[in-house]
Chains A and B, each alone.
Chain A
Amino acid sequence: MSASAAAAAPPTRLPPCWGCIALAIGVVAAVTASFAYLAVDYRQLFSHESMRLMAKFVGEFFPPDVAPAFLAKATWGALQTFAVAAVGTLLAVAAGAAIALPASGRFGLAPRLGARLVLNFLRSVPELVWAALMVIAAGLGPFAGTLALALHTTGVLGRLYAESLENASPAPERALREGGSGRVAAFAYATLPLVTAQGVAYALYRLEMNIRMAAVLGFVGAGGLGQLLYFHLSIFQQAQASTLLIAMFVLVFAVDSLSAFVRGRLLPAHG
């Protein structure tokens, strides 16, 4: 086709994106099918009687219970939830860092595959399932929640740390090894400084997630705000539940802000 012939031809339209159209149809079909399958009786749900009951239920959440005795209890629950999240995350940082070393391929292919398998397994099981298992292993109470968070978060942090280690430049460590340094010292002086800042950021981000999860784990008996909330809701004490929900919100907001502050500041020097 000569240049002049190409210039003379009318501009062709782009062919429609068949993949996108098929996808859109698929999505609509899936959503419709889902609502149909769930067979939620909408007429009954939005009936006058049903709405009245809902309104009554919501109304009982206000005003929240602010008696000093209950506020003290809520504060204690919040502190316990924070402790569970903090200790769980701390354990996960240590364990995750330890497993990240083989998972980054430092010790060969077989350890790498094995470590990654362990991390994937730890990550895939949700915290609530871990908590249910830990309640059996360690008894009811916040310790089960701490362990559950530690196990799940080890999988998450371990994988992130392994990727950081793999992406870190090998040049400083190689230079030190060629200067006669031992393996541990070379790692500590050369590779560790390259990954700690990002590692702390990941840990703080997970702490924010874990605060929310720690509250939830209380539902299976792991203490803190969650356990209190479950209890008060099951005996239909909405006013107390309302206070606890507000406490949860305040705790989450406080930890999010603290984490953002620490992440924003420059971390101190390494060594």
Chain B
Amino acid sequence: MSATAATIQRPAAPLRDPATTARATALVAAVVVLWPLLALAEFRPWQLFDTSHLQVMANFLAGFLPPATAPDFLALLARATLETLAIATAGIALAFVVAAPLAVVATRALAVSRIGPGPGRAAGASIRTATRGVLTVLRAIPEVVWALVFVRALGLGPGAGVLALAVTYGGMLGKVYTEILESGDTRSARALLEAGSPRLGALFYALVPSTAQELASYTVYRWECAVRASVVMGFVGAGGLGQLMDQSMKMLNGGEASTILLTFLALVIVADAMSALIRRVLS
């Protein structure tokens, strides 16, 4: 370990880096996996520059200006916007009705059998797991898919959208409510349960006061997402702005499409702002 090594500038014998093999393998694996993926996704960037596509695109985009402003179209637009808002609000309300009881069943914070542990522990745990499983299943399929199915069942219109939101967002709200309840004032809840209080008592007297703000805040955030989702579901026939935009785009009516797109962006901004305001008021 002599410092004289520095004076004699002898080139050191090469040192093997243990990470080299792992990195080389990872690189080869990445390339081997990437190639078929690109093929499956039919990745052909040159298609973007195909003249016929460019022509259609150019015509479509050219039609964007001027945006359509005919009064009867604007009236239609206003009705569609209100319908989208109504779908989102009704959908979230139903989702809450689905999620709240499931969350109360699934949360560990209200588990009486865990105190001790007391009798019925296995049954309690399996019920909780089953409920969480139900919530996962509700969440797994995107709401647009449910919307498509409900449109086939109920016909075109906002009902399909509301039900689709109720299912999917019910699952999402349920999962997050469960977690929020478990992060609340669980010790007070447990104290109440130990004193023999019914679960709903412990819920309303201990858990809800400490978590109400967070629960409400998340629900409002989900409402904001629901507004976007409602527009998207409209594309499969669930009413609102989305259905209007789908019709306009199918007819390659660029002017209407651009007006609707602008309205959509404005709607999203307003919904964002309202959501932020309400969440600020809550805190």
Selecting from B2-10, B41-49, B197-205, the interface stretch reads B41-49
CB pair B43–A87 under 8 Å, yes or no, is yes
Interface residues of B in 9-55 (CB under 8 A from A): 19, 22, 36-44, 47-48, 50, 53-54
Known pairs A126-B231, A128-B232; A146 contacts B41 (CB<8 A): yes
Could you say which residues of chain B place their CB within 8 Å of the CB of A213?
Answer: 142
Interface residues of B in 149-164 (CB under 8 A from A): 149, 152-154, 158-159, 162
Shortest A163–chain B CB gap in Å is 17
CB pair A54–B153 under 8 Å, yes or no, is yes
What per-residue 1/0 map shows which CB atoms of A126-156 lie under 8 Å from chain B? 1111001000111101110111000000000
CB pair A80–B140 under 8 Å, yes or no, is no
CB pair B48–A137 under 8 Å, yes or no, is yes
CB pair B142–A216 under 8 Å, yes or no, is yes
Could you say which residues of chain A place their CB within 8 Å of the CB of B142?
Answer: 212-213, 215-216
Shortest B163–chain A CB gap in Å is 10
Q: List the B residue with the shortest CB-CB distance to A249.
A: B140
CB pair A136–B158 under 8 Å, yes or no, is no
Could you say which residues of chain A place their CB within 8 Å of the CB of B40?
Answer: 79-80, 82-84, 142
Shortest B237–chain A CB gap in Å is 10
CB pair A34–B90 under 8 Å, yes or no, is yes
CB pair A138–B48 under 8 Å, yes or no, is yes
Known pairs A132-B249, A143-B41, A219-B236; A37 contacts B268 (CB<8 A): no
| CA–CA, A143 and B53, complex, Å | 13
Q: Interface residue count for B (Cβ, 8 Å)?
A: 57
Interface residues of B in 246-275 (CB under 8 A from A): 246, 249, 261, 264-265, 268
Count of A-B contacts with CB under 8 A? Answer: 145
Could you say which residues of chain A place their CB within 8 Å of the CB of B54?
Answer: 137
CB pair A216–B145 under 8 Å, yes or no, is yes
Shortest B39–chain A CB gap in Å is 8
CB pair B90–A31 under 8 Å, yes or no, is yes
* Most A-side CB within 10 Å, residue of B44, B50, B141: B141
Could you say which residues of chain A place their CB within 8 Å of the CB of B249?
Answer: 132
Q: Does B103 sit within 8 A of A, measured CB to CB?
A: no
CB pair A248–B145 under 8 Å, yes or no, is yes
Interchain CB contact (< 8 A) of A229 among B43, B48, B148, B278: B148
CB pair B41–A142 under 8 Å, yes or no, is yes
Could you say which residues of chain A place their CB within 8 Å of the CB of B140?
Answer: 248-249, 252-253
Q: Does A171 sit within 8 A of B, measured CB to CB?
A: no
Q: Does B75 sit within 8 A of A, measured CB to CB?
A: no
Shortest B105–chain A CB gap in Å is 22
CB pair B85–A34 under 8 Å, yes or no, is yes
* Most A-side CB within 10 Å, residue of B140, B231, B268: B140
Known pairs A138-B48, A146-B43; A219 contacts B148 (CB<8 A): yes
Interchain CB contact (< 8 A) of A136 among B22, B57, B152, B235: B57
Q: Does B104 sit within 8 A of A, measured CB to CB?
A: no
What per-residue 1/0 map shows which CB atoms of A1-33 lie under 8 Å from chain B? 000000000000000000110010000001101
What per-residue 1/0 map shows which CB atoms of B77-90 lie under 8 Å from chain A? 00000110111011
| CA–CA, A45 and B153, complex, Å | 11
| CA–CA, A161 and B144, complex, Å | 28
Interface residues of B in 85-111 (CB under 8 A from A): 85-87, 89-90, 93
Could you say which residues of chain B place their CB within 8 Å of the CB of A241?
Answer: 149
The chain B residues found within 8 Å of chain A, CB to CB, are 19, 22, 36-44, 47-48, 50, 53-54, 56-57, 60, 82-83, 85-87, 89-90, 93, 137, 140-142, 144-145, 148-149, 152-154, 158-159, 162, 228, 231-232, 235-236, 242, 245-246, 249, 261, 264-265, 268, 278, 281-282
28 pairs of residues in contact across A and B, judged by CB atoms under 8 Å: A23-B278, A23-B281, A38-B159, A57-B152, A57-B153, A58-B153, A79-B40, A83-B41, A84-B40, A86-B37, A86-B41, A125-B265, A129-B261, A129-B264, A132-B246, A132-B249, A137-B48, A137-B53, A138-B53, A142-B41, A145-B41, A215-B145, A219-B235, A219-B236, A233-B148, A245-B141, A268-B19, A269-B19
